[in-house]
């Protein structure tokens, strides 16, 4: 009888451990709903996007852009004026899952220089995969496509990033 109770206790503790790890993995590992609609498709988890065209980063969990300003890296909900013509919907983004990627900016600038000017990346907004359904507008017709494209969202911290910010 003691063996049966002991075996049951071990089995329950193993199952509890596996369930706890699965819950942590799900809550930390998948952030599709946090990714912006202009992010590239195909990633269950994204920490940052590197944008080779402007040499800046987007922090997905905090919804902030990280870029050089006056010799230092700043975190803002908008891009500075100098990027006013930058279009996050039609520019290439590189997924980076490394803490503080701007510390390695010289490496990223060289490694992804060939992606500058590319406009062929499929983005979440244009995907019809079920996992992106929370990004669909009006039953998948993507109404709201103009949101953040120079129609009233300029520099108001909405994080759509079309270069209508307040700095620089």
pLDDT tens per residue across span 73-125: 999 999 999 999 999 999 999 999 999 999 999 999 999 999 999 999 999 99
* Of 27, 32, 52, the residue nearest 43 (C-alpha): 32
The span from the CA of 118 to the CA of 92, in Å, is: 6
Q: What is the DSSP letter of 9?
A: H
Strand, coil or helix: what is 95? Answer: strand
Is residue 26 pLDDT above 50, yes or no? Answer: no
* Cα→Cα distances 160→1, 10, 56, Å: 64, 51, 14
* pTM, to two decimals: 0.65
CB atoms within 10 A of CB 62: 13
Residue with tokens 């290439």: 92
Q: What is the DSSP letter of 152?
A: S
């Amino acid at each position: 009888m003691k063996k049966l109770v002991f075996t049951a206790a071990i089995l329950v503790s193993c199952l509890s451990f596996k369930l706890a790890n699965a819950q942590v993995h799900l809550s930390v590992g998948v952030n599709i709903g946090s990714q912006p609609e202009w992010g590239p498709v195909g990633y269950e988890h994204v920490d940052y996007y590197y944008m080779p065209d402007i040499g800046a980063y987007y922090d997905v969990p905090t919804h902030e852009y990280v870029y050089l300003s006056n010799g230092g890296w700043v975190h803002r909900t908008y891009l500075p004026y100098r990027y006013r013509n930058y279009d996050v919907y039609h520019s290439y983004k590189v997924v980076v899952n490394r803490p503080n990627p701007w510390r390695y900016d010289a490496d990223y600038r060289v490694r992804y220089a060939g992606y500058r000017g590319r406009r062929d990346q499929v983005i979440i907004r244009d995907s019809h995969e079920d996992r992106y359904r929370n990004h669909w507008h009006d039953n998948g017709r993507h109404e709201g496509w103009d949101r953040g494209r120079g129609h009233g969202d300029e520099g108001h911290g909405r994080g759509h990033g079309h270069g209508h910010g307040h700095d620089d």
